[in-house]
Structure 1
Amino acid sequence: MAMKRILFLLADLVLLNAQLCTEIPNPGLLKQIDAGNGLVVGLEPTGNAFMLNGEDWLYLAGGMKHVSAGISGIWMVDNDNFIYRLIGGNLEKVSESFQQIDAGGDLFVAGIKSNHQSVCLSSADFLTMKPSSLVTWSNMDRELKYLTCGLNGCWGVNSADAVYFRIGIEPHRCQGNRWDYIAGTFSMVKVGSDGNVYAVKKGGEVYHRVGITDSKPSGTKWMKVNSITARAKDLAYDLNVLWLITQDDKILRCQM
């Protein structure tokens, strides 16, 4: 009888894990997804950018290669490497020569230039931006392929899938002090606005960074999220929800 009870408990646990993620409607094949500050955006391989509104995807713009949503709003990079921010439904051109942008910082914006250099725009410069005005980007002193920022700092991944955490970041001084190497190789790392960090292995396995505190903002170790069996090619996290694009092109909303 005790063994049967254990088997029933295990069956319930498997069912609970299976219900953790639900598939949501897809506007088309998405290659990228991002979430922050209650916003969810996605990008098709064709360059069409969308924002999720309930169960519907609203078209934002075409000709884009990267889109980001966060505390600093919605930002995009087009196929000509210009970055834009969405203001009142209109795209405002900001700078040129970028390959990736991230709007998840605490009222600061970070990105990767076309030469792979990591840069950021401080909160003071961001809050005083005017249409068509020149902005000053601060150098973060590392070549990266991907950069993601949250309240506790920024995470970067280089071309060899090595992971780094930027120490000493503050909104008014977004460039921080130094990069600390974080053991483990991942194709992508994403940080949510609450500081939670998730990552994807080259094979699609999803990991969570544990041990993150105010005194240890980079956490202590990576733990595989065993309840998620889908293989991911992109992910984003916001408001206790992990968003996945799977390797078979499904979009999953996973309650964490």
Structure 2
Amino acid sequence: MIHNLWKNIVYEPTWKSIAGLLKFVSVGSKGVWGVDPNDDIYYRSGTLEDGESSGSGWVNIAGKLKQISSGRSVWGVSANDDIFIRQGLTASSPAGTGWLNVPGKLKQLDVSSTADQIWGVDANDNIYRRTGITTDQPAGIDWEQIDGSLKFVSVGPAGVWGVNANDDIFYRTGTFRNEASAGSGWEHVEGNLKQISSGDNIVWGVNVNDDIFIREER
């Protein structure tokens, strides 16, 4: 069921500062990863398969990315919208062993931590999901174009959510607690956000004024 209520969240000062400087950060089952203003890539040591850990330091990873997403795997996109997946992520090699270039072009992508699902959008706001992901084929096989137009998309247990160029919000029908589904259409949801993130029965977002909102799904 999709509720029609967004709650504005105002926190007391409970944030802990972490040393370093990043323009984009992502946390998932494969640890905390980020990119700095120069597109240099970093992995937070000690965070693989430990989402509650703040880690012990930043490890510089070879390569350049403008955006990165950590989930069951780690994917990122470069300044030229080239797509990469991190290979060799294991307990003995938590930072991985190298990047594999995946065919296609995306300006933003999102990886689920609870399912082998990756969604993304390209420079023209076309929407795609990766198909054919298996243990033997972690990079998948192909990109399936999804109808609609979004500038930002997110996939998680609460389903697939996105925002378009006008900051309108959309939920992908049929994906709530069903991430493996491509869904059956886009449902317009009241409100306006510039960026959104699908979590476990909760959706987070920020608007053009950087106000923070959550939406609880049941």
TM-score (norm: length of structure 2):
0.83
Residue in structure 1 matching 2:77, options 112, 116, 119 = 112
Higher strand proportion: 1
How many residue pairs match? The answer is 203
The percentage of aligned residue pairs carrying the same residue is 27
Partner of 2:118: 154
- State whether structure 2 residue 31 is matched by structure 1 residue 73: yes
Q: What letter corresponds to residue 149 of structure 1 in structure 2?
A: V
Gaps of at least 5 residues in structure 1 are 1-15, 27-54
Pairing of 1:210-249 with structure 2 (within 5 A) = 210-212=173-175, 217-226=181-190, 229=191, 231-249=192-210
Q: Distance in 1 between matches of 2:4 and 2:184?
A: 25
| RMSD (CA atoms) | 2.5
Q: Using the TM superposition, give the Cα deviation of residue 75 of structure 1 relative to its aligned residue in structure 2, in angstroms.
A: 0.7
The secondary structure found in structure 1 opposite 2:194 is strand
Counterparts in 2 of 1:158 and 1:191: CA distance versus 1, 3 Å = same
Partner of 1:24: 10
- State whether structure 2 residue 165 is matched by structure 1 residue 207: no
TM-score (norm: length of structure 1):
0.71
Question: Once superposed, which parts of structure 1, at least 4 consecutive aligned residues long, lie more than 3 Å away?
Answer: 128-131, 212-216
Q: Distance in 2 between matches of 1:157 and 1:252?
A: 23
Pairing of 1:64-143 with structure 2 (within 5 A) = 64-87=22-45, 88-104=55-71, 106=72, 108-122=73-87, 125-127=88-90, 130=93, 135-143=97-105
Larger radius of gyration between Structure 1 and Structure 2:
1
Q: Distance in 2 between matches of 1:250 and 1:140?
A: 35
Say if 1:22 and 1:254, in contact at 8 Å, map to a contact too.
no
Q: What letter corresponds to residue 101 of structure 1 in structure 2?
A: I
Say if 1:139 and 1:175, in contact at 8 Å, map to a contact too.
no
Gaps of at least 5 residues in structure 2 are 46-54
Q: Distance in 2 between matches of 1:179 and 1:129?
A: 31
Higher helix proportion: 1
